[in-house]
């Protein structure tokens, strides 16, 4: 039976997250479906551009994110009919 591949499958293939037996089928599909091959080329180009990006957040931004994360506390609500958690900052 012929498997129908989706955009998610293209991404899984691009990131080597597909089982080997599925890779064989997917490669055949790429040969038969130019649209899917084009989608894979776009994803691979996006990956390449992301990998070549050298932008990093400043130390101040990283420090603020970490401080915000440390400041989060979870308290159970006493007035709710079911147990829920409220985030206070």
Q: What is the pLDDT of residues 65-80, one digit of tens each?
A: 998 887 776 666 666 5
Q: What is the pLDDT of residue 64?
A: 92
Residue 83: the pLDDT is: 57
Query: Structural domain tally of the chain?
Result: 2
User: Are 63 and 42 in a shared domain?
Assistant: no
Question: What is the rounded distance in angstroms from the CA atom of residue 16 to the CA atom of residue 37?
Answer: 16
* DSSP-based three-state secondary structure for 35: helix
84: pLDDT confidence band, cut at 50, 70 and 90?
low
Please determine, for residue 88, whether its predicted confidence score (pLDDT) is greater than 80.
no
What range does the domain containing 72 cover? 59-88
31 within a domain of the structure (yes/no): yes
pTM: 0.59
Please indicate, yes or no, if residue 74 is contained in any of the structural domains: yes
| Structural domain contains residue 72 | yes
Per-residue pLDDT, 80: 59
Which residues on neighbouring strands pair with residue 75, listed in sequence order?
86
The tokens of 49 are what? 């551009």
What span, in angstroms and rounded, lies between the C-alpha atoms of 59 and 45? 30
Burial 42-52 (b: 16+ CB within 10 A, else e): ebeeeeeeeee
Sort residue 18 into left (φ over 0), alpha (ψ -120 to 50) or beta: beta
Question: Are the C-beta atoms of residues 15 and 26 closer than 8 Å to each other?
Answer: no
Question: Tens of pLDDT along 7-35?
Answer: 999 999 999 999 999 999 999 999 999 99
Residue 2 lies in a domain: no
Residues 45 and 75 grouped into a single domain: no
On whether both 44 and 12 belong to a single domain, the answer is: yes
């Amino acid at each position: 039976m012929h498997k129908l591949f989706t955009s998610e499958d293209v991404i899984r293939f691009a990131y080597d997250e597909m089982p080997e037996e599925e890779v064989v089928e997917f490669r055949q599909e790429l040969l038969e479906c130019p649209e899917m091959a084009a989608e894979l080329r776009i994803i691979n180009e996006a990956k390449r551009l992301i990998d070549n990006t050298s932008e990093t957040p400043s130390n101040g931004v990283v420090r603020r994110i970490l401080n915000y994360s440390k400041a989060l506390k979870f308290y159970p609500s006493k007035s709710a009919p079911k147990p829920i958690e409220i985030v206070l900052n």
